[in-house]
Amino acid sequence: MTNAQLKEELVAYSKSIGIDKIGFASADPFLTLKERLKTQQQLGYQSGFEEPDIDKRTEPERLLPYAKTIISIALAYPAKLENPPKGVKGKRRGIFCRASWGEDYHIVLNDRLQKLEAFIHERVPSAKMASMVDTGALSDRAVAERAGIGWSGKNCAIITPEFGSYVYLGDMITTIAFEPDTPIDDQCGTCNKCVDACPTGALIQGGQLDSNKCIAFLTQTKEMIPERYRKKIGNRLYGCDTCQVVCPENKGKGEEYQPEFTPDPEKVKPELLPLLSISNREFKEKYGKMAGSWRGKKPIQRNAVMALGHFREKGAVPKLQSLLTHDPRPVIRGSAAWSLGEIGESDGNHAALQAANEQEDDASVRGEIRQALMKLEKEVEHS
């Protein structure tokens, strides 16, 4: 069997196992990306979640000796919730971004890549392969761009003509030399909607992202969210979709997708208050299979605490006061202080904050409490 025949068979097989798009790229080093990553590192734009070794990220042969081709796969995910539950006063809700809907994409894409590997291995037993999804060293986007899956939009996502940017990407490096596919021309043109709409100005002209400003990244950190971004995060519990939602290339997309990604509306748009009391076991049972739970329950709870402050949800005051005083995690106490300050004087918030200040031994939480107290006092002055 020639490599051209194998490629044809692989493409047909990929469709039969639920891969929406497949492309082939040479495994040559990614020289332009290397320069861009170096600049990003110098400018401090990186999130810290990525592989720190830039050579590994840009030279496929470092990951698989004698690498010849990288196969890029894309699986489509949904963009709309059927009958989304409505958040109302007393029962406010948070939201997980679309990339966390349904089953964790790492598991689903790894399954598809393993099937592809087995298919190749049966036909070419001597072939070597290395597959990766998201956490691998390679840049999924750079590979997908070179393999003709889509172009790299100004929103830093790969945009496919068929599914917009609502696709997950995975890669397989192989020692088989397949004919590469042709990249798709950049079609962003003069559009700048995502750059203009980004709530924190994280998208920088030229398709770069300052991760430290990106809400998707901020929602995954475990520390206090910097004050200037808290209101902008709103009720997001994990991730942010703004730059995808405003993209004209995504209009009408996200209706065809792999069944594993079908969202449970109650899970992806959950009530906020119950999240604050959820046990570790319940959290694992309910959210453990979602991509958005990978950092554990603390960031989700911190975001839920802040979302209640964003809604100025008075019904949450008793719970927030209790967290402020009793929660063992400083980030939760500090976020509760901020939210109580946002909600304003209600149910003895001022007294509760003062009492908490006296017993608090964490300096950063005391700082949050003092800020909240000042806010309440200013409100009283102006009322």
Binding-site positions read 57, 97, 134, 139-141, 152, 155, 158, 169, 188, 191, 194, 198, 214, 220, 222, 240-241, 243, 247, 280-281, 295, 297-298
Residues in a beta bridge with 129:
174
Question: Does the footprint of ligand SF4 cover residue 192 (CB under 6 A)?
Answer: yes
When binding is defined by CB under 6 A, the residue of 60, 153, 270, 292 that contacts ligand SF4 is 153
- Report the DSSP beta bridge partners of residue 22: 73
- HSE (CB half, 13 Å, CA atoms) of 32? 5
Please identify which residue in 115, 193, 267, 312 interacts with ligand SF4, judged by CB under 6 A.
193
Q: Which of 28, 111, 134, 186 is catalytic?
A: 134
- Give the SS3 label for residue 96: strand
Nearest distance from residue 204's CB to ligand SF4, in Å?
12
Nearer to ligand SF4, 32 or 192 (CB): 192
Is residue 154 within the footprint of ligand SF4 (CB under 6 A)? yes
Letter string b/e over residues 67-101, b meaning 16 or more CB atoms within 10 A of that residue's CB: bbbbbbbbbbbbbeeeeeeebeeeebbbbbbbbbb
Q: Is 247 in the site for ligand SF4 (CB under 6 A)?
A: yes
3-state secondary structure of 25: strand
Tokens at residue 142, please?
């750079």
DSSP state of 150: -
Question: Judged by CB under 6 A, does residue 248 bind ligand SF4?
Answer: yes
Closer Cβ to ligand SF4, 185 or 358, answer by number: 185
| CB closer to ligand SF4, 78 vs 164 | 164
- Known binding-site positions for [4Fe-4S] cluster: 188, 191, 194, 198, 214, 240, 243, 247
String of DSSP letters for 219-248: TT-SSPPPHHHHHHHTTEEE---HHHHT-G
Q: How far apart are alpha carbons 105 and 133 in whole angstroms?
A: 9
Q: Is 181 noted as a catalytic residue in this protein? A: no
Is there binding between residue 104 and ligand SF4 (CB under 6 A)? no
Rounded to whole angstroms, the Cα distance separating 299 from 45 reads: 21
- Other residues' Cβ atoms within 10 Å of the Cβ of residue 35: 12
Could you tell me how many residues of this chain bind ligand SF4 (CB under 6 A)? Answer: 12
Print the binding letters for residues 107-146 with ligand SF4: x by CB under 6 A, - otherwise. Answer: ----------------------------------------
- Residue with token string 């790229």: 25
Closest distance to ligand SF4 from the beta carbon of 211 (Å): 17
Residue type, 13: Y
Catalytic residues: 134
The contact set with ligand SF4 (CB under 6 A) reads: 153-155, 188, 191-194, 246-249
